[in-house]
Each structure stands twice: as C-alpha cells, then as structure tokens.
Structure 1
Amino acid sequence: MHDEFLATLGDATQREKLASILTWIQSHFPHLEPVVKWNQPMFLDHGTFIIGFSVSKQHIAVAPEVAAMKQFELSIQEAGYKATSNLFRIKWHDAISWDLLEQIISFNIEDKRAVTSFWR
C-alpha cells in the first residue's frame, strides 16, 4: 500500500529513509493496516488512526495525535526532535529513535483499543 506513495518521492535518500520506517512498523506491528489518506502514509488499528507521516524537503513529520505527543513530550525532546503539539520532525540526517517509535505506537494501540472513531 505504501509503495505507491514512496514512488512519488523523487529523492532516493528520502524514499529509503521513510521506507525503512514504514517497513519497520509493518514488521513490528503486523496487525496494523497500512493506508494512505490525505496523501500521507499511516497505520490504522481496527479502523482508528495510530500514526501517520508526511514529508517535506527538510524532514519527515511523525504524527501520533496530541495524546501521544503529550505522553512522550520529554522523550521526543531527549531524542533531539523538534515538535509541535501535533507532530515531531525527524530531519533527513537525524538518526531514527526506534525505541521511541515503538513506545508511541504501542501506547496508541493500547490507549485506543476501545476507540471506534478514526481520531480520538
């Protein structure tokens, strides 16, 4: 599902970095459904949003919703990522904090297990 989106990225380095994140998520959370909505690759669990990504010239934006951003605010800062209330940014040259991604995704899966809407 994400392959079509990845093919739209002209920069091979950017495409490979985002592909590594999406592939990692699929391998660690195989029950999550990969989709593209609003031109953004994302993962759903029982129809509810878990995490999404967008790309810019400077970075990958990681959007796990506000509740997860609040829960992991300090960890995001410690990883060296810039953040807003809705997302944090991984610059193309930054290392990926796999532990942080795993914690955020696991938190959203558990926190949203009874959620029936797309967003919180």
Structure 2
Amino acid sequence: MKKDIKDAAGKTAAYTKEQLDQIRQEAANKLTAMDKDIDALQAKAGPMSDQAKAQAQKALDDLKAKRAAAAAKLDALKAAGQDAGQELKAGYDAAMDNLAKAYEAAKKGLEQ
C-alpha cells in the first residue's frame, strides 16, 4: 500500500514537472513573439515626424519596461520549483497581460 501511494505521488510530481516545463517553454515562446512585435513597432516609428516619433518612443519605452517585467517573471518561473510554479505562473500571466495591453496601446498610437 505504501509503495502504491509513493509511486502515485512520484507520478503526480513527474506530471507536474512536465507540465511546468511546458508552461515555461510556452511562456518563453510568447515573450519571443512579443519581441518580434515590439521590433516591428520600433521600425514603424522610424519615418515619423519628430512630435509623433517622440510620442511613439514614449509608448515604446513603456512597452519595453513592461517587457522587462515579464522577462523577470519568466526568469522567476524558470527558477521556481514545483511548489511555487503555480503562483509564479499567475504573476507571469499578469505581466504578459500588461505587456499585451501596452503593445496594443503602442500599436494604436503608431497607426494614428
């Protein structure tokens, strides 16, 4: 009986580790995709007038700060053990939501 419980606990922990590894990889992929989107917005800001470029740069700076915050959350998620993984994933998800909102705001500002 004890062996069965121990085996079940081990399988659960392995599944949780695999799940956490998958979450980490998906999070890294999302951040890499966002980097490409940010670079594309940066390129759009190049040919703008000085005033528009200044406004775009402010939005891009905010976007980059939020990207750095998301990267820090990702680093914490990568370093986390299984016990802290769920809590850190929630923090990463919140940081990515903030980053996505900042991206949309910057994109909208550049399109005007």
TM-score range, shorter chain: 0.3 to 0.5
Q: Greater relative contact order (Cα 8 A, min sep 6): structure 1 or 2?
A: 2
Larger Rg: 2
Task: Name the structure where helix makes up a greater proportion of residues.
Answer: 2
Task: Name the structure where strand makes up a greater proportion of residues.
Answer: 1
